[in-house]
């Protein structure tokens, strides 16, 4: 692992402890439950597709409340960082790709892309949840799309202005 990350064992150990304290300890105190990927895939696959919109809206509001409890103000960068951290700690691949919009010199966008192998219901749920979360804090989601293996949302990032 040390060779893969090009970090010393003490640095890796420190990161593991920090992540555990930041995430798992907080979740354990709150009584949250962690599911295996296979169990999560099965649970999500049997969701009624007609209810995914309402569920994602509930989840987005819950995410914003959780971040407010931890951070106070929920800004673009705070929400982005939390979403990326949650996915990383849960071993779900979510990448942020920064882009400069061609139509405005001072507008940038971030594309959040996830490849997951958890099915179309998961893609739709996550895509709509993150879209709604950004909208709840007043951000402009340019586009969103999903299929059975991935989802992608593109959000204007005005916090990158120079």
According to the model, what pLDDT value does residue 10 have?
A: 82
- What does the pLDDT average to over 125-153? 95
Greatest alpha-carbon pair distance for the chain in Å reads 49
Q: How many residues does the chain have?
A: 162
**Residue 134 to residue 41: CA distance in whole angstroms:** 25
According to the model, what pLDDT value does residue 4 have?
A: 64
Residue-wise DSSP of 93-143: -EEEEEEE-TT-TT-EEEEEEEE-SS-HHHHHHHHHHHHHHHHHTT--EEE
Q: Which pLDDT tens digit goes with each residue over 69-90?
A: 888 899 999 999 999 988 887 7
- What does the pLDDT average to over 112-137? 95
- What does the pLDDT average to over 127-151? 95
Angle at 62 between CA 56 and CA 63, to 5 degrees: 90
According to the model, what pLDDT value does residue 33 have?
A: 65
pTM: 0.78
């Amino acid at each position: 692992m040390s060779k893969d990350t090009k970090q010393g064992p003490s640095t890796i150990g420190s990161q593991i402890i920090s992540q555990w304290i930041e995430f798992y300890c907080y979740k354990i105190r709150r009584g949250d439950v962690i599911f295996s990927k296979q169990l999560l895939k099965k649970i999500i696959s049997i969701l009624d597709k007609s209810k995914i919109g309402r569920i994602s809206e509930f989840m987005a509001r819950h995410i914003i409340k959780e971040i407010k409890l931890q951070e106070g103000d929920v800004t673009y960068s705070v929400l982005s960082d939390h979403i990326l951290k949650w996915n990383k700690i849960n071993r779900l691949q979510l990448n942020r790709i920064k882009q400069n919009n061609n139509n405005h010199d001072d507008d940038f966008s971030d594309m959040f892309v996830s490849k997951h192998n958890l099915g179309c219901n998961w893609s739709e749920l996550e895509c709509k949840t993150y879209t709604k979360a950004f909208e709840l804090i007043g951000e402009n989601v340019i586009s969103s799309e999903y299929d059975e293996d991935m989802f992608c949302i593109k959000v204007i990032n005005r916090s990158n202005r120079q």
